[in-house]
Structure 1
Amino acid sequence: MLTMLVVDDEIYALRGITQGIDWGDLPFTDILEARDAAEAKRVLESRQVDLVVSDIEMPGDNGLELLRWIHANRPDTLTVFQTGHARFDYAREALQLGCFDYVLKPVDHDLLKDIVSRAVTEIQTRRQRQAFEETLATYRSQWAAQLPILVERFWQDLLAERIPLAPERLNRQLESYGIPFRADGRVLPVLLSVEEWSVELDARDESIMEYAVRKAAVEMIPGEHAGTALQDRGDLNLLLLLLGPDEQVDRQALLERCGQYVEACQSYFHSRLSCYVGQPVRVEELSASLDGLLQMERSNVTASQSVLDVSQGVEGAAVSGGAGALLPSFADWAVLLDNGAQEELQKQLEDAVRRLQEQAASRETLEQFRFGLLHLLYQTAHRKGVSVYESLTVTELNDPQVLRSPQLLLQWASRLIGKTAQAFQDRQKDTSAVIAKIHAYILENLEKDLNRDDIAKSVYRNPAYLSRLFRKETGLSLSEYITQQKIDRAKRMLTETNDKISNIAEGLGYYHFSYFAKLFKKMTGLSPQEYRKKHQTL
């Protein structure tokens, strides 16, 4: 509830506002009176006042001097001023000092009530923002003090397949980190795809709120199962349900909890997101399972703020232990594929298959070779943010005929490597084209209130995927880039035109001038007026 203070040295004008207007439909618990600026200051010092409606022309300290005092001592209090036609220069000065609005005398009560109604909306908006900032500050503190860095790094390394999967060694690491999971268990992955924030956040605060989203996922989704949340090296937000080898999951209940989580994120974190729910898989299959979820996310351009269920797990492959001297170093091959050295990789592939043929390799060895190559493809694709299923089909990947002979294995491996390398090249070209289209779209629509959904629709991409892609390629979040471009255009207009500063702000979608001025000074170090005075050449 709110408190309003009315200040006027004319008793009839004062009572006309406090008692002659029906304020019953606005959330005021108290409407106070003061006959001059000195009395108003005493009221403001003794209690919280949300809105001051004051005359400018008063004996003693006038309304402008009261406004300066309010800014210095009660900066959260909004002000509305009354002024006569003869002293309109007072109203202009009041606006420059940051008052919310003004009304001309004699006061039109309906007009004043409309202005006060808008002021109430502004106060409530500020309160909501302050509450959100307090929530943000709370999670910022928790993020800094409680983030389990070592555990998250362990899962990041495991997802990137940099941790040996030998059961005994893996179990020792799990036990040392206090992770309630065993090497013979299964993992059910859930991709938490953040599509949009309904408030503007810079890159740092967005990272902090993503931490809050992950923390909430651990609290709401696993139910009776163990779970952990993390952000992998590709900025994917993930929840992993950690299951025993025979532990069953009530699928319907899990999907319902995911739906409740999606709604809660909208309400408490101003975040619109979707959950992509996988199937339980063994640890060595986890990377491939995530590829399937990513493919599902990239293909989704219509179902926003949803829970999407993968109908079956995506089967991946990992290198089997005890490969023997016949098998090549797939890690070295991954470097070649990653760097686009396809000709050298093809030469080493042919040499390796020739050795298999010369030494009459067994079917088991051929199978180990096949698993090693699949592991190489999944690992490299995941590192580049590409799904192998963009260029290869499940049939191609799992063709059982390739194990009949080394020659068939060579043909199969050459075909898969060639298609994957081409997909990497095409993706890089496509990424460059998409980023260029985004730049153009933003520059053409700076006057609008741009958001991730509009931008994603313009290039036919999923919003969450597009946001990660843009940050990876440019080093900026979409909101930071949009703000940067708007301020750059404002700087040009301030130096190249004589347009009113308020008109320039509105033309860039900033309808609250004080917010624009504050943002401009934060970006340039100067107020708009100071910048124009310093740089204008007209």
Structure 2
Amino acid sequence: MNILIVDDQPSVIASLTSTIDWHAAGIDRVYSASSAILAKSILQTENIQILLTDIEMPVENGLELIRWVRRQKREIECILLTSHADFAYAKQGIELGVMDYVIQPASNASIVASVKKVADKISFQNNSARMHSAGEFSNYEINHAAKHFFKTWPDLQDSENFDALLAEKIRRLNELGCPCREEDSCVFFLTVIREWYALPLPELSCRSRYAEVMQSVFSFANGYTTTYSKDDSHFFTMLFMPSYDDIKDYFEILEEQVKETLSCSIGIFYCPASFRELRSAVRYVTAMEYLEYKNTDSNVTRLYPTAEHRNLDAASQNYRDYYQQIKQYIRDNVAMQITRQAISDHIHISPDYISHIVRTIAECSCKELIVREKMRYARALIQTTSKSIGDIAVECGFDSFAYFSKVYKSIYGISPKSTRK
């Protein structure tokens, strides 16, 4: 596999070509050019698979060079180098099918990681094409496997051995190229095709084309996606990205790209969740296919698994900070008889203000929140430890086992003993 590096600064080219072990990144030969004009000459005569180009160059910049490559119908994966983290560049890059975006100054490790990701993608596509032509797997089987992967995601509330099951899912994601950890978060979302502007594509073709557009949009932001379809108009996707700050911007780009590539309009319903709570997000998002989603005002709609999630997102930063401090105090003192006044003394705001914040975000009283957090902690101990339920009751601040069981059952609908069974 060959790479062409384009930059108008000789020092940058010299550094990239001489200080990086390109062979370890899967690169056989490295070419370089100090301008777009020289780069075109090399691209016309040499077999290049990866183009690594600076954006800011005189006469003709890196984006214009990539536009020329696309007009030539060349199957070349592109990576942009730039000293400006400008989303306008990101949007243009996605429209041009750019695979990645590296901010300068970047370490050799960052550049190698980007190139290796692109090289791995090329190798995977080549292997997939060979395997598909040989009949070793089918589009249907891949879709079924992805669907099963998320339908069997462990439930924090109901799964025995939850931590072990979650660790196995995370291990599998890492094997598939998603560098994530158990404490990370993701976005699970539903894409609904609302209207076709041309003859609808067959289900397999639609699924394949949609997956290509998805990869083009989110790989640019170092995102990992895995998608399955229920039919030819409902696509469910898990998205893992280093940052979700611009997530709505990327969804709007996805909407534009799907409209241009598949000739249809779409609606997107998304729900951020931690990996530990992903199962609830999957249940919530998949339920949207049965609801009357066509009457929503926006094409991109955020979903919230609970009122607490929705209210937290709408609350001011001041409210969010205080609410997190309140919950943290409860968790740190779960064995104590916690009062509103004790919380007030700890975080230095009035008891009435604490009640107002809790009512606004959790939609319950401060006393109810304390009980809820104690029961959540108790449930985790019941499911993940061998401690006796009596000891767990004491650890959660209850002197009476009978009263502890009564409160627990009022929240979860079953007794502590039934939960353990």
TM-score (norm 1): 0.31
Structure scoring higher RCO (CA < 8 A, sep ≥ 6) equals 2
